[in-house]
A and B are shown apart, each in its own frame.
Chain A
Amino acid sequence: MHSLLKSFAEWLENTPVPLFVSDYPWTYQVVQFTHFTGLSLWLGTNIGLDLHLLGVGPKRKTSAAQFLKMTIVWNWIGLFIAAVGGLTLFSTAATTFIDNPAFETKIFALLPIALIWHIVVQVKTYSWGQTSDVPKVAKVAGAVEILLWFCVATAAVDIPYF
């Protein structure tokens, strides 16, 4: 399995996009900018929904379900932009990244769990969040999602230390 990943990483590093990024001094920052812009949009909309479920913040007329309807498109656009940036960053040093325990933990364990949890929360919010009287299970789900994304961020910040 690891040798297959290694060959994939070597192939990926030699595709035109990472070669282009490595050829110019300014392109890496452009890719980082893309990744961070997507993450801002993703996190802003995610935390907004989780806080609605938790009932934290000023009293509002909008229910969690209405809030989700308003932000769901931007939420997934944010993830898409973050993923494009993240994949490009990964491709520039794929062989190094796949041997990094923090990166492995982030990509193969925490990120899939957080994403699946996020989808479940979004789907269930349409029934949980019809009114401002959100059930306890929804509050727990919102808190767990915030915790999961903190774990993903912690693993990401750990990457340079390994």
Chain B
Amino acid sequence: MSSYLQACHAVQSSPFVMWFTDSIMISLLIWLGHYVSSFLTIGSMVMIDLRILGLTGKSQTITETANFYSPWMWIGLSVVAFTGLTMIASDAVSFCTSGILGVNLLVTAVAAASGVFIRKKASAWDRPSGTPLEAKVAAGVSMLLWLGTIWSAVEVPAITNVH
């Protein structure tokens, strides 16, 4: 057995991980936190993207929309990361030997980076002449990336067979 697999085994069978995987209540809380925070993160980011694309909230500037939703995206993403790590730890061998989890983590990281980029550029994109094309492209790509996180997330249990 490779040292990588041994490490996964060690994580999975550590007393702390065994403690929360054996508790239905804690497992439920982890799942609940993961789902709700995922929806909060993606929903917040998609609302910013829709505003940039001019499909919602034109009475509010892009900066105002981003100011309102960005903190919730980061709060959601922090909970997603924490609960996601605990879920990985509970079945580390199955998850860490499957490529789909890596794809999911990569897409999520790129999507989060798109969130940082959009937040930084928001004030520059608030122009009286209208939203620049560059902003609309960035919002479109960001939206696709967040949809990609949902897609890769639903593929994780389907491919690893861990539910």
CB of B111 to closest CB in A, whole Å: 12
Q: If A44-B40, A47-B43 touch, does A28 touch B24 (CB 8 Å cutoff)?
A: no
Chain A residues with CB below 8 A from B35, complex form: 153, 156-157
Sorting the interface of chain A by its residue count into under 10, 10 to 19, 20 to 34 or 35 or more gives 35 or more
Q: If A157-B31, A158-B28 touch, does A60 touch B68 (CB 8 Å cutoff)?
A: yes
B147 A47 Cβ-Cβ under 8 A: no
A48 B59 Cβ-Cβ under 8 A: no
B56 A71 Cβ-Cβ under 8 A: yes
A70 B56 Cβ-Cβ under 8 A: yes
How far is it, in angstroms, between the C-alpha of A41 and the C-alpha of B28 when the chains are bound? Answer: 23
A37 at the interface (CB under 8 A from B): yes
Number of A-B pairs whose CB atoms are under 8 Å?
103
> Which residues 59-94 of B sit at the A interface, judged by CB distance below 8 A?
59-60, 64, 67-69, 71-72
**Chain B interface SS verdict (over half):** helix
Chain B residues with CB below 8 A from A157, complex form: 28, 31-32, 35
**Cross-chain pairs A/B with CB under 8 angstroms, 9 sampled:** A33-B154, A40-B43, A44-B47, A47-B43, A51-B72, A70-B58, A71-B57, A74-B56, A150-B36
- A residues near B, CB below 8 A? 28-29, 32-33, 36-37, 39-45, 47-48, 51, 57-58, 60-62, 66-67, 69-71, 73-74, 78, 150, 153-154, 156-158, 160-161
